Amino acid sequence: MDTFSPQILSILSGSLGIIPAYLWLKTIPIIGYTICSSVLFTIIQHSTEKLHKYPPIVNIGKSYKYFLWLDRSFACLLIFLLYFHLREKVFKPRLLLISGVSLLVICDSGIIIDGVLYSIIHSLWHSFVWMYLISLYKIQTGINVIFYTPKSIMFVIGSSD
């Protein structure tokens, strides 16, 4: 039995949702609280799921299915709230939206049978969702949230200052 649990990748990437949750709590609190709930249920769901040949990190029997549905339910609620509050702005970060939904379809279609590969792609899905929510925050508020891209990191590392 392997000691590595690929679910850790999904848990760590899911917990990054606290960043957009914090941002949205300041402007539209219901969206921020919904993101917080999504983060919580994502962490619990990935902690309790059996992923292909890998056992769950926390074994709660068949009750893990409830957390999967809570995770999905809060994701649907978040989509509804975003559309209700932002309407036409929801589709502006198209590349992030299309990329994220594509990764979700790849993960949930069942074509990936390797637990580690699934966790990597699912973690990318989480990352795209969080970047999408931060981009929507920027569009809604006009406040620029700074990210360090590999190019900007290389510029900082390579600068002579």
pLDDT tens digits, 107-134: 888 888 888 999 999 999 999 999 999 9
Helix (H/G/I), strand (E/B), else coil: 5? coil
> What is the model's pLDDT at position 146?
65
At residue 160, does pLDDT exceed 50?
Answer: no
The angle that helices 7-15 and 115-141 make with each other, rounded to 10 degrees, is 10
Which pLDDT belongs to residue 154?
A: 40
Reported for 150-155, long-range contacts at CB under 8 A and 24+ positions apart, including other chains, are none
Yes or no: say if 32 and 26 are a contact pair by the CB < 8 Å rule. yes
| Rounded average pLDDT over 26-43 | 95
d(CA 11, CA 140): 28
Mean pLDDT of 28-34: 96
DSSP SS3 for 54:
strand
pLDDT tens for 70-94 read 999 999 999 999 999 998 898 888 8
pTM, entire model: 0.84
pLDDT of residue 70: 93
**Percent of the chain with pLDDT strictly greater than 90:** 60
What average pLDDT score do residues 64-69 get? Answer: 90
Q: Please give the pLDDT value at position 86.
A: 92
Distance CA 140, CA 70 (A): 27
The pLDDT confidence band at residue 147, using thresholds 50, 70 and 90, is: low
